[in-house]
Amino acid sequence: MSQQLIINFLGVDKPGLLSAIATSVNNASCNILDSRQAIFGQELSLTMIIEGTQAAITRFELTIPTLCQSLDLLAMMKRTKHHEKQHLAHLINIEFSGQDIQGLLVDVTVFFHEQHASISALRQKTFTNPETKQEYVRCKIVLTVPDAVAIKEFIAHTTTFLTSLSLDATITDTHQTTWSD
């Protein structure tokens, strides 16, 4: 029976990191089911879920301390039971701005959760409007939306929601993709 392990690597981004990690996963007879990587300045965050037999996962776990020492990485991991492939068809870019009110980002993130959209990236900046001296916010969000969601209705509903918060928004469906095995 296959086992799964979620692992997050943190460290300074440098050439060859992903290759070295993937080689270690392969050498332990495991597969990478999914991975996400983000670069923050010079820092890297890499999260992946790997799958293999119990012995293979254990073999990979035992290589992590040496791998991390040789690549100057930190690692955190957790065994998990079942990873279901997400069927994501849409990548949505949303940019909005308006007066910064208490709880605004909470309201926005809860709204997207309720709409079954996942936030892949979020960038937020507050600033003081020089004319009014009021605090304003500018936010960019990248959402992944499952193919089961009616995208035109999703965009219309999102526009209505953001307008109800007195936010100026631009919403773009950057691509539609059919993911296959």
pLDDT given for residue 72 in this prediction: 95
Going 38 to 44 to 50 to 54, the CA torsion angle's sign is: negative
Instruction: Look up residue 162 and give its two tokens.
Output: 């953001």
pLDDT given for residue 86 in this prediction: 55
pLDDT given for residue 148 in this prediction: 82
pLDDT tier at 31 (50, 70, 90 boundaries)? very high
3 state SS of 19: helix
SS3 content of the chain, % helix, strand, coil (to 5): 30, 45, 25
Residues 60, 56: Cα–Cα separation, whole Å: 6
Which is higher by pLDDT, 5 or 129? 5
Which is higher by pLDDT, 8 or 19? 8
Is residue 116 left, alpha or beta, with left meaning phi > 0 and alpha meaning psi from -120 to 50?
Answer: left
Residues 161, 114: Cα–Cα separation, whole Å: 12
Amino acid sitting at position 149: V
Residues 151, 149: Cα–Cα separation, whole Å: 6
Amino acid sitting at position 145: V
Q: Domain 2-80: what homologous superfamily?
A: ACT domain (3.30.70.260)
pLDDT tier at 46 (50, 70, 90 boundaries)? very high
Tens digits of residue pLDDT in 119-175: 888 899 999 988 889 999 999 998 988 878 888 999 999 999 999 999 999 999 886
Summarize the confidence of residues 2-24 as an average pLDDT.
Answer: 92
Q: pTM (2 decimals)? A: 0.64
What stretch(es) of the chain map to CATH 3.30.70.260?
2-80, 88-176
pLDDT given for residue 175 in this prediction: 65
pLDDT given for residue 176 in this prediction: 57
pLDDT given for residue 180 in this prediction: 47
CATH code, 88-176? 3.30.70.260
Tens digits of residue pLDDT in 70-109: 999 999 999 987 766 555 568 899 999 999 988 999 999 9
